[in-house]
Structure 1
Amino acid sequence: MKKKFLSLLFLLSVAYVPLNAQIGLLNQQAYYKNSVPAGNYSGLSRIGGNRYVVVNDKPKNDGFDIFHIDIDSITGEIANVRRVGSLSSGRAGTRDGEGIAYFKPANTVFISGETDNRVLEYDMDGQLTGRELKLPSVINGPLGNYGLESLTYNAHTHRFWTTTESTLPQDGQQANAVNGIRNRLRLMSFDDNLNYCSTIDYIMDTPLSTRPARIYADGVSDLCALDDGRLLVLEREAWVPKAYLGAWVVNRVYCIDTKDKTRPAQKKLVAMWRTSFNLIHKDFANYEGMCVGPVLADGRQVIILCADSQNQEGRLLRDWFRTIVL
């Protein structure tokens, strides 16, 4: 009983992390029912201005969407989000696209697929170019629902970064709802020629869950590469009981310095928050996408996040967006 009480107390406190413990300002989440159709939005990347490419992990046809996201230049809050178009490669079905990155040198888009565990290139008409990231041999074939989840590219550092959502089989056991194991991940980088460059060992936080769940996910759901070589890592733990009521998600964004040779990587907390679905709160949001947004008038950097609503599951969930200001 004492253990359960302490666990509950900690979960309740997650939403109230002291501001001095974080280096980012977390803005309120919002949804846009009139301009964003229900979807499974799992990644986004800025093209320029207010234009972004967004990947849906369960589209009718393989491809990506174009969104316009307007940001308040003073506060960094989202003023509006709207989907303005969709582009398809012509291939039926889906690769379970999870991460997306705009590749400025070639004016193309790369998408990581969790089904095939490949990172493929598309032109701005949505067509496959035939190129892909040259993944190391440790990524060998399908890995189920814990394959390649994230993707980011930075034109200043000329580096792609990706990782699997959970621990590779050769690296140990994966976290589940009851075992309390910390996932160990490999953050992998690639250059402009799509060649593999390096790996950073990364250890996630200890899971909060201590009870079995109907649906459970604990992993890194996206990465975001900054101009100075730092990398933001989005850790997401989702716990959904059999009857859904009482479901929660805890999100943590950490910053690591990719130039630091300390292993495993040293993490610095950027922002931490909890969403839930119960009789009081209905803000449950499974954040899976994260990218660099615009720079504000005072020089601060905006980070934009999107949540996967599972096509607004049961007409209860929403396609949430929010920002963090660094």
Structure 2
Amino acid sequence: MPNVAIVGATGAVGQEFLKILAERNFPVGELRLLATKRSAGKTMVWQGREIEVQETTHDSFKGIDIALFAGGSSSTEYAPSAVKSGAVVIDNSSAYRLDPDVPLVVPEVNPEDVKWHKGIIANPNCSTIIMVVAMKPIFDLAGIKRVVVSTYQAVSGAGREGIEELEDQVRSWANGDELKNHTFPYQIAFNVIPRIDVFQEGDYTKEEWKMVKETQKIFHVDDMAITATTVRVPVLRSHSESINIETDRKVAIEEVKTALQNAQGVIVVDNPAEDQYPMPWFSSDSDEVYVGRIRQDFSIEKGINLWVVGDQIRKGAATNAVQIAELLL
């Protein structure tokens, strides 16, 4: 059984790693929990075992087969040391995603890319993962020429601090107190913020460019036309996306629905007559990507509209990484 290390074990994604390894019965020999100096010495319980959290150092990976990195600056600092020690790193940060020597993998979309890793495999951005799982059956069915995506991203995408800030602001509002913000640039309660991460080239944010460039890399189509607008909304968990797709060949909407219904990792919830469609409230704590509001875009000849929802901590982060580890086994 492989020895597994989790770097960032005490954070939101790290804790989700623990939950998912147990749920999926992932075979684990030794489990090494690593975090910052501040968290070292804490104990965490997993599968009846009490495990002490250790400080992450360059020597933390001796004897480790798979190192799951929860994200953040620890990846650039410690991933090379983990690889030198003989571990395969599955990294949840953005550090290696666009490196041409590092596969960027979503198991339902491009599992074969795992084969050419050189010690590091990157986990895509959460919004990208949710989008490409829904895109894949349509890409296989009819090809994809252009994508326009607008996201409605939950506060948990900013970690535990994001969740706490929304909860604190709602409590303050109910009590008539002043609303304070630290994690987000503006109040997030009862508001939407059309900026996630820093502004970059062309006044697109880093999050928007991630969705463009990562999707092109995952599908191995460098000239796929993609444009994104990413928005933070006052939802605790699960990201939603409005996706407009222009296909290469014209397909009937029933063909699209059938392809999505038969796709791995997708659940279709699409019954307008019964007022049924995906929502964050019902997709939270689930590993599937939910697709609904599937309809023709009548403004162009080969257009399709989708509404897509997925739990960005699970499928958008931890579950996808554990699925990559399963591919390695």
TM range (shorter): under 0.3
Richer in strand (by share): 1
Q: Which has the higher helix share?
A: 2
Higher Rg: 2
